[in-house]
Structure formats: structure tokens, C-alpha cells
Amino acid sequence: MIDSDFSRRGLLLGAGFGGVFLPDALRNAVQAQGTRPTEIKLGITTFLSGPASVFGVPGKQAAEMLIEEINAAGGIGGVPLRAIFVDEGPGLDHLVGEFRRLVQNEQVDVMLASISSGSCLACTPLAEELKKVTLLWDCGTQRIFEEHSYQYAFRTQANATPEILAPLLYLLKTKPNFRTVAVVNQDYAWGRDSWEIWRTAQAALKPDARVVAELFPRFGSTDFSTEITRLLALRPDVILSASWGGDLDTFIRQANERRLFERSTFVMPLAESSLERVGRSLPAGHIIGARGDHWHMHPRPRDKAHLTRFVENYRRRYNAYPIYPVFHMAQALSALQAGYAKALAAKGGAWPNQVELAAAFPGLEYDTPTSRMTIRADGQGLEQQLIGTSKRVDTHDFAVLDNMVIFPAEMVTTPAGKISTDWLKTLKPDILADMPAPIPYA
Amino acid sequence: MSRPGGKQEALLALAGAAALVAIAFGAPWLKFVLTIALAKGLAVLGILLLLRAGQVSFGHALYVAFAAYVVAFLAPLVPEALVLLPLAALGAALLGLVIGLFVSRYREIFFGMMNLALSMVFYSLLEKFYHFTRGTDGIRVQPPRVAGMALTRDGYEWALFGIALGLCLVAGWLARIYLASPMGQALSAIKTRETRLEFMGISARAALLFAYVASAFLAGCAGAIIAMTTRHVTPLLGYWTASGELVFIAVLGGAGAVLGPFLGAIAFELVRVYAAATLADSWQLILGSVLLGVILFASRGLWGVIEALLRRGRRA
């Protein structure tokens, strides 16, 4: 087999553009049915350029670290992993082309697709056409499995609905008497979608709360003085911001300087990823989410030693605490290991093909750094949601989480076969009765 | 004249087309990249028409995006590629006529900036009318039928590649005739001395407007092909960087002949794909170096290099 002698990439570099014209059919023929390959190739799409690289680069770093660890422990079924990364930054036509290149030319075994929801919406149907097992490792849009059903695509984390509903439930429980709400979201699909989810759920659970401002500053904005002035004047009880990255960091810093945090309670479902960066700019008493069941100081991890090792290894290599995309990547790679193990067992140790591998994922259970997750029959992962309140402690230069509630996945996830916005309308306030007790920072 | 003749150019074009088909056979995944490259080549051919008049548009991605969204919105109603493509291109040409009536009054930097401004207005509309356009998440395009036939994935990819290649050959041929005609020659006159053109009784504005509408039509064809190939349409298609990319390709390919845009587009897409494959996190560096190299060592673009080779071959 060609790949075993010298890597495909080395061939590309060596032969320049000539490398392309190697007939793929030749290599397809060599890969016989059921035999163990020399390596498992993963195609990973992530942001390596642009604003979303604040998530994409930690995701890539996590993949590199974890793949090294998996390979040191013998790989998957004795076969080592190799990752090929693709940048989502240049836009969809480039990404869709790269997706084809990885599947058709590099002959990757599994794709791990996308941070951006737009990328996932474009890549998932393509994966289905190319019949390539694809794990959606980070993107949030709930539309994927609600509007279509797929045989080859699976999401190894939650989606936007639980990630927004959980902070709302937390708010309703901890500050039940709020009357007015304002929103400051980035002006693009996620900002609009997350607000739609929040507003729909709020109308069902607390119909008397009033929305006093809907502010959608430009994506990548560096100045929020207009929004902050408006919010200082309006004095809403609650300010929701599902922003992330540089936008959220800047907003937090500017809001802190003008003491907006003293007047309103902030709800920031993605702020876990900014905690270390904004440091002391984020005061205590505001609601923080993490897009799932992740935090480096998780209060009830499945295996404390495992989480500590994971966090320390990551810190040693990259000098930062792991944020949610790092955990999401760990979830995807763990699901991949479990999926291969299940498919190998089902075939009596023989190597699975794409159909057999895909069949392993519905109902699959796998360990994450903090808990154990399941992939539902429709392909959606069921993930708990950790929400907490910011707190200042002497041991850290940044805010930590206090009074953490870990929402069970079934409580906050749209049931299979239902559309999120329809399901949210049917929610009743007594859902709060089932909410687990908060866990204080220790 | 030492310029390569029409016959020589036609032969080169056909040889290039044959080479592309061979590549598409040998490396199926490149079919997609080449289809996108050919589509961009069409849009850049429109840029080239305007360049002949000395005008640079920094906003032609507007027409690419407009046509792509026409396809996205109409595809559920008329799922037929051979109807969608002309509809989208004519729609873009019509929009080009309306906008052209304004921008053809301006020249040079003002012309470029007006185009840029209008394209960004359209981009913002796509982003802001969230409930209608799905914002940055974009709209998925279901594969349309081609000539009434529902094709398999591979067949569909071949069909679109064929349509793109055919359109490029026809558009290149027509553009050549147009540029050689008095209407086309008037464009060069706008560049050199516009007043003399007016003295001859030819309206410079009408000449430029015609070229502008033609370029919008070509960009529309490009947008429709891109929409039907990537099958997912987002506002990013109309962002200013996409317009800049078209101008970049025009510089890379060279504006000397109608083959330049296609050479440039194919080189651009291949360099980008290979740069991304070798250096996933700094492919921009390679792309930038290539453009710098072209500016420094081959100021007339890739076509200029080929032209020089042909001339040397003839002299030898």
C-alpha cells in the first residue's frame, strides 16, 4: 500500500502538484474489505484563522494532545490515529472543497466537522452523499437533526436549545422576580438563533417578563458604548449575552468599567470560555454557562483523577486552562474510540466499513472528561449542562463558578422528532421543581 | 503584431479545456474545485471587461451573491439547473443595469468605491433579514435536475463541470468578439482619452454601461454555478473580500487576453487548495507570496508569461 511507505502529505510536498494525479482507484483497490488499516485518518475542520480561532485553535491543540495520548496507548484497535486539519476560516466554498479533498483524495476514515453552524449545515448533507462517518464535534445549531435525518452524521455534544434553556432555568430558579430583560448578541445566525430560543422559552415559563431592548451589535465589534449607555438608562433586571470570543471579552470589560454589572444581572451562556481572559473584569454574581457539562474545576466529575490529569496535561502543553472546545474535542475522540470498539466487537474483531461503523453510533455510550454521554437514535448527543454563578476567590486571578447546577440532559434537550421552538412553547413552570440542587464552589 | 493570433488562442483554450477534463477524470475530488474555479473565471472575465476601460470594481461579488441567492430561493420552485442558471444570470444582469445607471457616471476610485459600498449594502441586507435569508447560516440548495434528469452525485458533478466549462468557452469566445468590436474598442478609449470618444459621437457612459451589464451577467452565471456546486449559499459570497478575490484573480491571471481570468482562477484555487493542504494554519502566507511573486516578476500576470513564451517560440 502506498500510504505505508511514505505519507500522502510527504508525497504531495515532494512531487509538488504532480501528487494529485495519483489515481484514487488504485489505492481503493488495495484497501481490502475487513483488513486492519495501518492508520486511521481523521479529517478535522476547525477555525485556524479569523475571530472563531479562539475556539478553533484550542480545539486543534486538544486533538493533537489527545491523539498523541491515544496512540501512545496503542491507538484504536491497535491502529494509530492521524489527524489532518482544515481551516474553516476562508468560507464555505473552500471548506466544502476541502471536505471532498479529505474524503475522496486523502481517503480519511472519519470526519470531525466544524465549529460554525453554517459549516455543519453544509457539511452534514455532503457527508451523507459521500457516505462518510462524520462527527459534529462543536457546532451548535439545533436545525441539523430536527430538520433532516442522517445515517452517517452524529453530534457528540449538546446543541443550542439545552445550552440556552439551561441558563434560563437557572435564572428563573435563582432570580425568580426579574421583570425586565435585555439582550446584547452578535449580529449573525448564532446571536439571532440563541435569542429566538431564549425568547420562546421565556414566553412559556415567565410570560410576565418584559423584553426592553434587543441589541445586535455588529459581529466583531470593538466598541459597545452605545449599547452600554442604553442599558444603563433602561436598567433591565437581566441582560442576556450569548456572545463569545473577542466580542464578549470587550463587552465584559467595557460594561465593567461603566459599572453595568452593578445594576443588572448578566446571563452569559458562553462565558466559561472567556473567564481566564477577562480575569478580574468579571464581577461576582453573574450567571455563566459553558455549552455543556464542562469546567476545569467541575464539582462532580465521573473520574476526578481523569479530569485532573486531562486539565494538567493541557495546561502543561499550552499554558492555559482548557475551555469548552477542548472538552468538545475530547468528547468527539472518546465517542470515536467507543464507536470503533463497538463496531469491532459487533464484527468479531474484523475491521468495520463505513456502514458498520455508522451503525455503532446510535445508542452509543462513551466517557467524557466529566461524565458519561449517550448518542440518541436520531444522532444527537445527550449532554448535561453545567451552569453557575461567578464568584471571586483569592486562589485565582479570574472568576470561578459557584452554586453550580448540573442539568440532566433529558430535562433540557428537545425530545427526538420534535422541533425546538415548538417544544419550548409547551414547557411549564413546574419544570423547575425537577432542577437539581446547586453545588457550591469548593 | 507580436500578439498571439486568434487561432493560437483558440487552440490554447481547447487544449486547456481538454487538460481540465483529464484532471477531473484523474482526480475526482478536483472536479469540484475546478468547477468553482471556472465559475470564478467567468466572474473575473466580467472584471476584465471593465479593466479594459480602466475601471476596477471592488464590488462584483454583489452579482455573484445575488445570483446565488436567486438560485437558493428559486430552487425549490423550479428544480431545473438549465432554467435556474439563465434566470439567475438575467436577474444579476437586470440588477447590474439598475446599479450601472448610477455607477457608470463615475470613474476610477469613485467607481470602485461605489461598487464596494453597494455590495456591502447587499451583504448587510442578507445578514439582517435573518428570518428570510437565514443570516450567516445560509440556505441549503437541494440538487436540481439537469435537463429534466435527476442525476446521481457523480453525474451531477460532471454535469455542472460540463456546464461551467462550456459556458467559459462560449463566454470567452463572445468576449473576444466583443472586445474586438467598436463597442469593445470604445472601452480602451475610455481608458486612454474619454473626451475624444465623446467627440466621435460615441457615448462613453453607454459603452461602459454595456460592459457593466455584461460583467454583471457573467458574475451572475458564476454565482448560479457556485450555488449549484457548493449547494449552500451564505452572505459571505457577497462580502468585500470575495470582491477583492476577483480582482486578485484578475491580477494573477493577467488582463491581456480572455484566457487570463481562467488561468488566474484555476491557479488561484489550486494554490489555495495545496497551500491549505500543506500548511493548514498559514496558507494565506503562501497565497500572498504567490501574488507578490506575480506582481514583482510577471507584472502582466500568468497570461503575460505564456504570451512571452509563445513569442519566443515563434522567434526561435
Closest CA relative to residue B246, chosen from B215, B276, B273, B277: B215
Mean pLDDT, residues B163-173: 93
Helices vs strands, H then E, count in chain A: 18, 15
- Please compute Rg for chain B using Cα positions: 19
Q: Which residues of A touch B280 (CB under 8 A)?
A: 48, 84-87
Asked if the Cβ–Cβ distance from A86 to B276 is below 8 Å, we say yes
> Would you tell me which residues 368-397 of chain A have a C-beta closer than 8 angstroms to some C-beta of chain B?
none
Question: At B191, is the pLDDT very low, low, confident or very high (cuts 50, 70, 90)?
Answer: confident
B160 reaches A (C-beta below 8 A):
no
The answer to whether residues A285 and A177 belong to one domain is yes
pLDDT at B316: 60
CB contacts of B226 in chain A (<8 Å) are 93
Q: With a CB-CB cutoff of 8 Å, which residues 54-113 of chain A face chain B? A: 60, 84-87, 90-94, 96-98, 100-101, 103-105
Residue A331: exposed, middle, or buried by beta-carbon count in 10 A (0-12, 13-18, 19+)? buried
Q: Are residues A390 and A363 in the same domain?
A: no
CB-side neighbour CA atoms (13 Å) of A11? 14
Is residue A50's pLDDT more than 90? no
Q: Are strands A180-184 and A238-240 parallel, antiparallel or unpaired?
A: parallel
Range of the domain at A338: 32-157+305-375
Q: Residue A428 CB: number of other CB atoms within 10 A?
A: 9
* pLDDT one-digit tens code per residue, A181-199: 999 998 888 888 899 999 9
- Cα dihedral across residues A205, A269, A241, A233: positive or negative: positive
**A380-400 tens-digit pLDDT:** 999 999 999 999 999 999 999
Q: Does residue A363 share a domain with residue A258?
A: no
Query: Quick one: residue A243, left, alpha or beta (phi over 0 = left, psi -120 to 50 = alpha)?
Result: beta
In chain A, which residue's Cα lies nearest the Cα of B276? A86
A102 and A233 belong to one structural domain: no
Residue pair B99/B114 in contact (Cβ under 8 Å)? The answer is no
Give the Cβ contact number of residue B27 at 10 Å.
20
Spell out the domains of chain B, with CATH numbers in brackets.
Answer: 6-315 (1.10.3470)
The predicted structure's pLDDT at residue B1 = 37
**pLDDT above 70 coverage of chain A, percent:** 92
Say whether pLDDT at B198 is over 70: yes
| Same domain flag for A166 and A267 | yes
* Total of domains in chain A: 2
A288 secondary structure, DSSP code: E
- Is A296 within the bounds of a domain? no
The CA-atom distances, in angstroms, between A261 and each of A162, A198, A210 are 25, 21, 20
Residues 242-261 of A with CB under 8 A from B: none
A371 with A311, same domain?
yes
Taking the Cβ of residue B25 and every Cβ of chain A, the question of whether any pair is shorter than 8 Å is answered with: no
The mean pLDDT value for A337-354 works out to 91
Same domain for A36 and A129: yes
Within a domain: residue A248? yes
- The answer to whether residue A151 is domain-embedded is yes
Residue A166 maps to a domain = yes
Question: Does A70 reside within a domain?
Answer: yes
Asked whether residue A183 falls in the same domain as residue A113, the answer is no
Q: What is the pLDDT of residues B98-111, one digit of tens each?
A: 999 988 888 889 99
Residues of A in contact with B135 (CB under 8 A): 188-189, 192
Rama region for B301: left / alpha / beta (φ>0; ψ in -120 to 50; rest): left
B139 touches B133 (CB < 8 A): yes
* Pairing state between β A400-407 and B139-140: unpaired
- Residue owning grid cell 502566507: B285
Which residue of B lies nearest to A50 if distances are taken between CA atoms?
B281
- A369 phi and psi angles, rounded to 5 deg: -60, -20
Give the one of A86, A104, A121 whose C-beta lies nearest to B138's C-beta.
A121
Of the candidates A21, A85, A126, the beta carbon closest to that of B26 is on A21
| Nearest-by-CA chain A residue for B136 | A189
Query: pLDDT above 90 covers what percent of chain B?
Result: 35
* Selected residue of B32, B137, B285 to mutate for chain A interface (largest A Cβ count, 10 A): B137
Give me the pLDDT at residue A15, please: 41
The answer to the question of residue A318 being in a domain is yes
Residue A34: predicted pLDDT: 67
Asked if residue B176 lies in contact with residue B6, where contact means CB atoms within 8 angstroms, the answer is: yes
pLDDT of B223-273, one tens digit each? Answer: 999 999 988 888 888 888 889 889 989 988 888 788 889 999 999 888 888
Q: Are residues A153 and A49 in the same domain?
A: yes
d(CA A48, CA A107): 22
User: Are A153 and A166 in the same domain?
Assistant: no
Judged against a pLDDT cut of 80, whether residue A2 lies above it is answered with no
What is each CA distance from A42 to A65, A69, A107, A380, in whole angstroms? 14, 15, 9, 21
Q: What are the backbone dihedrals phi and psi of residue B224, each rounded to the nearest 5 degrees, phi first? A: -65, -40
**Three-state DSSP state, B141:** coil
The secondary structure of A166-224 as a DSSP string is HHHHHHHHHSTT--EEEEE--SSHHHHHHHHHHHHHHHHH-TT-EEEEEE-PPTT----
Residue A79 sits in the same domain as residue A116? yes
Q: Which residues share a beta bridge with B139?
A: B233
Those residues whose C-beta lies under 8 Å from the C-beta of residue B112, and which sit 6 or more positions away, are: B55, B56, B57, B58, B59
Name which of B134, B140, B277 is nearest A125 (Cβ-Cβ): B140
The burial of B152, by beta-carbon neighbours within 10 Å (0-12 exposed, 13-18 middle, 19 or more buried), is given as exposed
CA-closest candidate to residue A117, choices B138, B233, B141: B138
Residues 98-127 of B with CB under 8 A from A: 127
CA distance B98 to A417: 46
Q: Where are the alpha helices (DSSP H) in chain B?
A: 6-26, 28-52, 61-74, 81-103, 108-128, 130-133, 153-180, 182-192, 194-199, 204-230, 240-253, 259-278, 283-297, 301-315
Task: Provide the pLDDT confidence category of residue A172 given band limits of 50, 70 and 90.
Answer: very high
Share of chain A above pLDDT 90, in %: 67
Beta-carbon neighbour count of residue A63 at 10 Å?
24
Task: Give the pLDDT confidence score for residue A256 in this predicted structure.
Answer: 92
The ipTM value here is 0.76
Among A230-234, B132-136, B176-180, name the one with the lowest average pLDDT.
B132-136
Residue B185: phi, psi to the nearest 5? -65, -30
Higher pLDDT residue, B153 or A326? Answer: A326
CB pair distance less than 8 Å for B29 and A101: yes
Question: Same structural domain for residues A278 and A414?
Answer: yes
Mutate one of A45, A93, A132 to test the B interface: name it (highest B CB count within 10 A): A93
Please give the full DSSP string across B9-66, using - where no structure is assigned.
HHHHHHHHHHHHHHHHHH-HHHHHHHHHHHHHHHHHHHHHHHHHTT---S-THHHHHH
Confirm whether A131 is domain-assigned: yes
Return the axis-axis angle of helices B61-74 and B28-52, rounded to nearest 10°. 130
**Is residue A11 included in any domain, yes or no?**
no
Domain boundary at A356, A375, A394, which? Answer: A375
pLDDT of residue A291: 92
Instruction: List the single residue in B with minimal CA-CA distance to A99.
Output: B29
Q: What is the DSSP string of A420-441?
A: HHHHHHT--GGGGGGPPPPB--
Q: Say which CATH number the domain at A418 has.
A: 3.40.50.2300
A20/B23 CB distance under 8 A: yes
Q: Which residues of B53-71 are buried (b: 16+ CB within 10 A; e: fewer)?
A: bbbbbbbbbbbbbbbbbbb
